Structure 1
Amino acid sequence: MTSAHSGSSPRHADPDENPYVESPLTDFEPVAELSEPEAAEQASLLRAAVREHDYRYYVEADPLIPDETYDRLFARLEELEDAFDLSTENSPTRRVGGEPLDELETVEHVAPMRSIDNATEADAVREFDERVRRGLDAEGFDPDAVEYVCEPKFDGLSVEVVYEDGEYVRAATRGDGREGDDVTEQVRTIRSVPGKLRGDAPARLAVRGEAYMPRDAFAAYNEELMERGEEPFANPRNAAAGTLRQLDPSVVAERPLEVFFFDVLGWENDGEGSSVERPDTHWAEFDAFDAFGLRRTDRVERVDDIEGALDYRDRLMADREDLNFAIDGVVISVDDRAHREALGSTARAPRWAFAYKFPPRTATTTVEGVTVQVGRTGRLTPVAELEPVEVGGVTVSRATLHNPAEIEALGVNVGDRVRIYRAGDVIPYVPEVVEKRSEGTYAFPETCPVCDAPVERDGPLAFCTGGLGCPAQLERAVEHWARRDALDIEGLGPERVEQLREAGLVASLPDLYDLTVDDLAALEGWGETSAENLIAELDATRDPPLDDFLAGLGIPDVGATTARALAAHFGGLDAVLDADEGALREVDDVGPEVAESIRTFLDADENRAAIEGLRERGVDPEPVEVETGDALDGLTFVFTGSLSTTRSEAQAHVEAHGADATSSVSGNTDYLVAGESPGRSKRDDADAKGVPVVDEAEFADLLGERGVAWPPEGDE
């Protein structure tokens, strides 16, 4: 059995050549006294040093310098890049987050990201071993020579990360295994993901990792959410998935995500200087990860038979509660790559890997009470208050009951003995009543526990009808109004919103625009300058773009993309307010459920009063003018890879000039436009169907011949 890798790896910065690595001096000369070459040289040294410090802190957990020294180095780098326009694509300063995205694009993976067959029984694992041995024997290999690599099965979000010439270029979620959401800017903010690989790297490297939220950070973040009156994440996996799908990278940068890398999806050399050969075994790939500076778990072992793998699983399960990351089993995979290639894969899963999952964890306890929480959208969530009980080494005193329909299905009430289920580190829930000790079923409240407004049922769910008049929803509504992907009001965070409400200054969204400098300056923690700044920020939003206004209202199912579609379709606020469900369904991407959600929100008296109150205070969104043409009439385009603009903008641009833009290649497709790092499947489909493939420059020429500018100039 082998359980550790060893060997030194190259560094991002050599302390003998870089003064900012060990015991750095941070008494910098004023930026104004530097020449541009001097600033560029210092910025280059600082980038390398910060990468080294990031690696030592986030990957090796062995920092070289105190946090305050690191902060001064980082701030100096930001200062130089801003003063001399020296920022680079993969500078460490990009980790603080870039501009908000309009939507998550879909990109093809370098290679399929398959699922893994799994079971919770040891016999199923032994059967896997027998299949492996039979398969190797049939391919002419010695079945007794098989070795397995065992590693934790992380319970996070699987991501593909791509490097070209050692530089970070792309990241995507697993999606359906062939395509996933482009989360390049979001993953760029995660400090355990290097923007530049250490040492020599292949020309193109695609690696698979697991994004996760450490358990201690998850607990602290959930506590923060609950203190703000927001619904906590159910488990670390949901927290990771919800974070990576944020359209604003700066939000991701503020959340405590980490990544472990565990597999190679693609390893290519270009024959022009890069000759780093891919290792022959999975075990050796971990050594390569170390050399490249890619963070991986140290809880990996190599064993020479399946019984060793079973033993590894039992030991890891015993240590499960002591780990700072969520796992739900172990992955057992054939080590030798030649063996893997001989065994191959099914359409869904590789034949050379198997997941031995942990059993779920349950316990029995008594329901001592039920609390009903109110979320930002008004959704009411019942929570069972329990007699504390230990479940899998964790003391549980609360469990979700999901919704009123779940309570009715269980027939649960205060005093009943219930089973608590906790698996994969999810928030515990109640799957059944094991002993009925009460009479009847818990009566779900008919009015909101916060504002006393009537409660309405929508299928299995319940909602407070108080809308923006409900204090629980108001704070969240004001925070939503101020978000960067809405009205972008700096200085209006959760703590200040709560302070304004508690001071009686903001009892509704329009009240924001009645605030004065004197009102704010009188509050604790405010000064004249901060008060003036917020009033200026608010005044700047009195003539917002229509899509920002609609996104800021917090209409369920209406994010920035749908808001933009509504604005483009209707042109003005009154047209949106007057549109019935049929008219709303004519908008791209607005189906029956979203149309009903929009209409229900706009018909609520409290919400309509808030909108009219905003307009009375001079907050009136600017109408939208949409120009269309027919220069591309009759053409159908499909886009793949990264372009100089987002895929949605490219699609909207060609559609505005009469073309069709579809997501998959068919016999009706006229051109496949391939940007940087395109996936394989669309190119293969284009080759099979005889569809021309053009790069972005050829695409620009094609449009130019028809009088259409590329890239879009923003006037469609």
Structure 2
Amino acid sequence: MPVADEDADEDNPYLREPPTDFAPLEDLSEVEAREQVELLREAIREHDRRYYVESEPLIADRTYDALFARLRDLEEEFDLSHPDSPTRSVGGEPMEEFETVEHVEPMLSIDQSGEVEDVRDFGNRVQREVGDVEYVCEPKFDGVSMEFVYEAGSLERAVTRGDGREGDDVTRNARTIGSVPQQLHGDHPEFLAVRGEVYMPKDAFQAHNRERIERGEEPFANPRNATAGTIRQLDPAIVAERPLAVFYFDVLAASELEDTHRDELERFPEFGLRVNDRVEVVDDIEDAIEYRDRMLEARDDLGYEIDGVVIKVDDRDAREELGQTARHDRWAFAYKFPARAEVTPIVDVALQVGRTGRLTPVALLEPVDVGGVTVSRASLHNPEEIAEKNVNVGDTVRVQRAGDVIPYVEEVVKKGSEGHYEMLDACPVCGSPVERDGPIAFCTGGLGCDAQLRRSIEYYASDDGLDLEGLGEKSVRQLVDADLLESVADLYELEQDELLALEGWGGTSAENLLKEIEGSREPPLSDFISALGIPLVGPTTARELAREFGTFDAFREAAETEPERLEGVDDVGDTVAETIHEFFVSEANAAVVDSVLEHVSPQEVDIDTGGDELAGLTFVFTGSLEEMTRGDARELVETHGANATGSVSGNTDYLVAGDNPGATKQEDARDEDVPILDESEFWTLLEDEGIDLG
């Protein structure tokens, strides 16, 4: 029986209308603290069950938070922590890796098909082998299947399906999910291993993706990917922040077994295990097919993703007789839905903030199949196009992929809203005003905007910037999330101990990155100008500006006070000149540039253009050089007529690899049959071409 019956209220004051005016901790004895902890744990477990399983909470969220906080304070003050305590749901210290463990019973796959005749064949085979049976029909959840093992009612472990025989022990992560009870309720078996599906509700998935897009992060393709990526995080605190839930749908093993599957599912809520409310028992296979058709019609109205239905023989003895193959149980069959193709509703619109502040509206979609790829977002390009297509949240649209890569909204198929989406007046990330330049909208926050900051750091370290190997999108995001980078200048304040404390960093990778950063303190002027990420100023334009002004101070002064001087530079017209001027007169940008210049001294440019000894050749550099920095080497070959690029392609003539070279560039060079030179071979090549190295 559930804990929260009327008779239990007198014994536990924290179940109904609980008091929250607690006595100070210092006034409690240890015995009193222990008693209060046990009552609070018991009550909070019941409140969790009522909230997650019954959807009938007994108390308000604020009251629940007060009880939870009191329990946490008592456990900390009196050293009363316990693995089964509800407070363990807030995470814990990050793990180094997951342990692989064997399942109690194999977690086999399910035979499946989208063809109705295959379902009837399954039904005919069952009838031939065991006679007429009833079936339990359930939604086929599109999440992550896991094993949950309870001993004496306590959660012992939670394990991913893995290869069906063994999986990863993710118990600490599972404890953070609200619908995973730490302790079973009611008259539960002494031992119980159940199979459940961890998933991310659709509305929570869209909200989470919206946040990722607005932060400048890559969104998840669909709820299943979001769930899988979350449950295998090494830091339980990250899992605790993400909106996961669980449906339980099968018994793998138990000390007490029911005769039928329906009886098992009926008892699950008594234990605190959440069961889906769309489960039905039907008389025959034709009724199961009808159930599937009804679920297909209801699919878009559900709060979670399903990709079909599962049809299971109800009677356990009949299941035993039907048995299993090496891969799947012979008493179950999945009747799959057809994939959504190209037409899907828009659930929300998020604004993606680019490196230059450009705001790109992104439609968040019900996941749909487009050319064999699952798509959950599509570009709306700009406000002008949105108005022209009359697109808004709630509309059903046709999605295409430009060049088979970038999804975009082609047209509105069915209008489900009034009017079209209106661009926000303020940036969703930093709150700065939004300005329009023709059809394009921009955030005016500059490098003071967190989204632009993250992308600016990525660009600063990219091939078109200072080429800091080991500092890509993933590592920049990690460093920003760890509060180690709040500006570009913070790169130069990083310490090895800070890096080693992060997941995935070892002594070698940390040392190499710090060496790269240290080597960038005196960059070639053109590289530094390009690395700032000034809109419309790439490496080529940056080189022309460097050659024209010679020093960064001269370039910046002209940009701020005499932007017309910039127009005389090759590749710089009035539009580019005005963009450069606006970049430097922005107070936020100026503050960031000043902070970087406290650590960096861009080199002056030698006006001597050298010769054309290397004309027509293209070089790429990787690793650390002994005689000069990579930036100086690029400047040197460009001075003598060559091109220096950041990535290897079929047009590259030589890859110069110094110490600790990047593996990707070397692999690309081998794939493109590009010669790889070590440093001595590079100097020999220059000498052979008649270049005096001094």
TM range (shorter): 0.5 to 0.7
Structure 1 position 544, deviation (Å): 0.8
Please give the alpha-carbon distance, in whole angstroms, between the structure 1 residues aligned to 2:319 and 2:479: 52
Structure 1 position 574, deviation (Å): 6.2
Match of 1:290 in 2: 269
Provide closer, same or farther for how the CA distance between residues 348 and 389 of structure 1 changes in structure 2, counting only shifts above 3 A: farther
Structure 1 position 288, deviation (Å): 2.0
**Matched residue of 1:361: which SS?**
coil
Provide closer, same or farther for how the CA distance between residues 223 and 609 of structure 1 changes in structure 2, counting only shifts above 3 A: farther
Please tell me whether residue 62 in structure 1 is matched to residue 56 in structure 2. yes
Structure 1 position 313, deviation (Å): 0.9
Please give the alpha-carbon distance, in whole angstroms, between the structure 2 residues aligned to 1:398 and 1:467: 35
Please tell me whether residue 324 in structure 1 is matched to residue 303 in structure 2. yes
> In the alignment, is the contact (CA less than 8 A) between 1:172 and 1:184 conserved in 2?
yes
Provide closer, same or farther for how the CA distance between residues 35 and 283 of structure 1 changes in structure 2, counting only shifts above 3 A: same
Please give the alpha-carbon distance, in whole angstroms, between the structure 2 residues aligned to 1:604 and 1:249: 41
Match of 1:544 in 2: 497
> In the alignment, is the contact (CA less than 8 A) between 1:11 and 1:199 conserved in 2?
no
**Matched residue of 1:362: which SS?**
coil
Please give the alpha-carbon distance, in whole angstroms, between the structure 1 residues aligned to 2:258 and 2:105: 18
* 1:248 maps to amino acid: D
Q: Which has the higher contact order (CA 8 A, sep 6+)?
A: 1
**Matched residue of 1:202: which SS?**
coil
State how 1:279-428 maps to structure 2 within 5 Å: 279-363=258-342, 384-385=379-380, 395-396=396-397, 406-407=404-405
Gaps of at least 5 residues in structure 1 are 1-7, 137-142, 269-276, 366-370, 375-380, 420-448, 456-462, 484-488, 501-505, 514-540, 552-558, 579-598, 611-716
* 2:16 maps to amino acid: E
**Matched residue of 2:127: which SS?**
helix
Gaps of at least 5 residues in structure 2 are 345-351, 356-374, 414-453, 517-619, 632-694
Please tell me whether residue 201 in structure 1 is matched to residue 188 in structure 2. yes
Match of 2:85 in 1: 91
Provide closer, same or farther for how the CA distance between residues 201 and 389 of structure 1 changes in structure 2, counting only shifts above 3 A: farther
Match of 1:235 in 2: 222
How many residue pairs align between the two structures?
Answer: 453
Please give the alpha-carbon distance, in whole angstroms, between the structure 1 residues aligned to 2:10 and 2:200: 36
Structure 1 position 465, deviation (Å): 2.9
Provide closer, same or farther for how the CA distance between residues 185 and 454 of structure 1 changes in structure 2, counting only shifts above 3 A: closer
Structure 1 position 87, deviation (Å): 0.8
* 1:281 maps to amino acid: T
**Matched residue of 1:14: which SS?**
helix
**Matched residue of 2:488: which SS?**
coil
Please tell me whether residue 184 in structure 1 is matched to residue 179 in structure 2. no
Please give the alpha-carbon distance, in whole angstroms, between the structure 2 residues aligned to 1:62 and 1:173: 30
Per-residue displacement from partner, 1:290-333 (whole Å, max 9, x unpaired)? Answer: 22110110110001111111111111111111110110110000
Provide closer, same or farther for how the CA distance between residues 14 and 452 of structure 1 changes in structure 2, counting only shifts above 3 A: closer
* 2:274 maps to amino acid: R
Structure 1 position 385, deviation (Å): 3.9
> In the alignment, is the contact (CA less than 8 A) between 1:207 and 1:263 conserved in 2?
yes
Please give the alpha-carbon distance, in whole angstroms, between the structure 2 residues aligned to 1:543 and 1:363: 49
**Matched residue of 2:497: which SS?**
coil
Structure 1 position 413, deviation (Å): 11
> In the alignment, is the contact (CA less than 8 A) between 2:196 and 2:249 conserved in 1?
yes
**Matched residue of 1:346: which SS?**
coil
* 1:465 maps to amino acid: D
Please give the alpha-carbon distance, in whole angstroms, between the structure 2 residues aligned to 1:604 and 1:100: 37
> In the alignment, is the contact (CA less than 8 A) between 1:364 and 1:417 conserved in 2?
no
* 1:163 maps to amino acid: Y
> In the alignment, is the contact (CA less than 8 A) between 2:622 and 2:630 conserved in 1?
no
> In the alignment, is the contact (CA less than 8 A) between 2:282 and 2:288 conserved in 1?
yes
Please give the alpha-carbon distance, in whole angstroms, between the structure 2 residues aligned to 1:108 and 1:14: 39
Please give the alpha-carbon distance, in whole angstroms, between the structure 2 residues aligned to 1:47 and 1:309: 42
**Matched residue of 2:288: which SS?**
helix
**Aligned match of 1:211 in 195, 198, 201?**
198
> In the alignment, is the contact (CA less than 8 A) between 2:194 and 2:249 conserved in 1?
yes
Provide closer, same or farther for how the CA distance between residues 37 and 107 of structure 1 changes in structure 2, counting only shifts above 3 A: same
Please give the alpha-carbon distance, in whole angstroms, between the structure 2 residues aligned to 1:255 and 1:44: 28
Please give the alpha-carbon distance, in whole angstroms, between the structure 1 residues aligned to 2:209 and 2:474: 16
Please give the alpha-carbon distance, in whole angstroms, between the structure 1 residues aligned to 2:298 and 2:254: 34
Structure 1 position 103, deviation (Å): 1.2
> In the alignment, is the contact (CA less than 8 A) between 2:312 and 2:333 conserved in 1?
yes
State how 1:245-260 maps to structure 2 within 5 Å: 245-260=232-247
Match of 1:135 in 2: 129
**Matched residue of 2:197: which SS?**
strand
**Matched residue of 1:240: which SS?**
helix
Per-residue displacement from partner, 1:12-32 (whole Å, max 9, x unpaired)? Answer: 992221000000111001000
**Aligned match of 1:149 in 133, 136, 152?**
136
**Matched residue of 2:478: which SS?**
helix
Provide closer, same or farther for how the CA distance between residues 171 and 468 of structure 1 changes in structure 2, counting only shifts above 3 A: farther
Please give the alpha-carbon distance, in whole angstroms, between the structure 2 residues aligned to 1:364 and 1:450: 32
Structure 1 position 124, deviation (Å): 1.1
Match of 1:443 in 2: none
* 1:297 maps to amino acid: N
* 1:77 maps to amino acid: L
TM-score by length of 1: 0.57
**Matched residue of 2:341: which SS?**
strand
> In the alignment, is the contact (CA less than 8 A) between 1:469 and 1:508 conserved in 2?
no
Please give the alpha-carbon distance, in whole angstroms, between the structure 1 residues aligned to 2:310 and 2:514: 52
Please give the alpha-carbon distance, in whole angstroms, between the structure 2 residues aligned to 1:217 and 1:571: 36
**Aligned match of 2:488 in 492, 498, 507?**
507
Query: Identity over the aligned pairs, expressed in percent?
Result: 51
Match of 1:72 in 2: 66
* 2:52 maps to amino acid: Y
State how 1:476-487 maps to structure 2 within 5 Å: 477=475, 479-481=477-479
> In the alignment, is the contact (CA less than 8 A) between 2:197 and 2:246 conserved in 1?
yes
* 1:338 maps to amino acid: D
**Aligned match of 1:105 in 99, 104, 116?**
99
Larger-gyration structure (1/2): 2
* 2:122 maps to amino acid: F
Please give the alpha-carbon distance, in whole angstroms, between the structure 2 residues aligned to 1:453 and 1:547: 20
Match of 2:37 in 1: 43
Match of 2:14 in 1: 20
Structure 1 position 341, deviation (Å): 0.4
Please give the alpha-carbon distance, in whole angstroms, between the structure 1 residues aligned to 2:336 and 2:117: 13
**Matched residue of 2:138: which SS?**
strand
**Aligned match of 1:32 in 20, 26, 32?**
26
TM-score by length of 2: 0.58
Provide closer, same or farther for how the CA distance between residues 21 and 603 of structure 1 changes in structure 2, counting only shifts above 3 A: farther
Provide closer, same or farther for how the CA distance between residues 574 and 68 of structure 1 changes in structure 2, counting only shifts above 3 A: closer
Per-residue displacement from partner, 1:370-410 (whole Å, max 9, x unpaired)? Answer: x9978xxxxxx99654887999x973476666xx8x44xxx
Provide closer, same or farther for how the CA distance between residues 415 and 135 of structure 1 changes in structure 2, counting only shifts above 3 A: closer
> In the alignment, is the contact (CA less than 8 A) between 1:389 and 1:396 conserved in 2?
no
**Matched residue of 1:544: which SS?**
helix
> In the alignment, is the contact (CA less than 8 A) between 1:474 and 1:509 conserved in 2?
no
Structure 1 position 84, deviation (Å): 0.2
State how 1:696-707 maps to structure 2 within 5 Å: none
Per-residue displacement from partner, 1:459-502 (whole Å, max 9, x unpaired)? Answer: xxxx96357889xx89975551265xxxxx5xx39xxx6xx5xx
> In the alignment, is the contact (CA less than 8 A) between 1:55 and 1:293 conserved in 2?
yes
Q: Alpha carbon RMSD of aligned pairs, Å? A: 4.2
Provide closer, same or farther for how the CA distance between residues 289 and 546 of structure 1 changes in structure 2, counting only shifts above 3 A: same
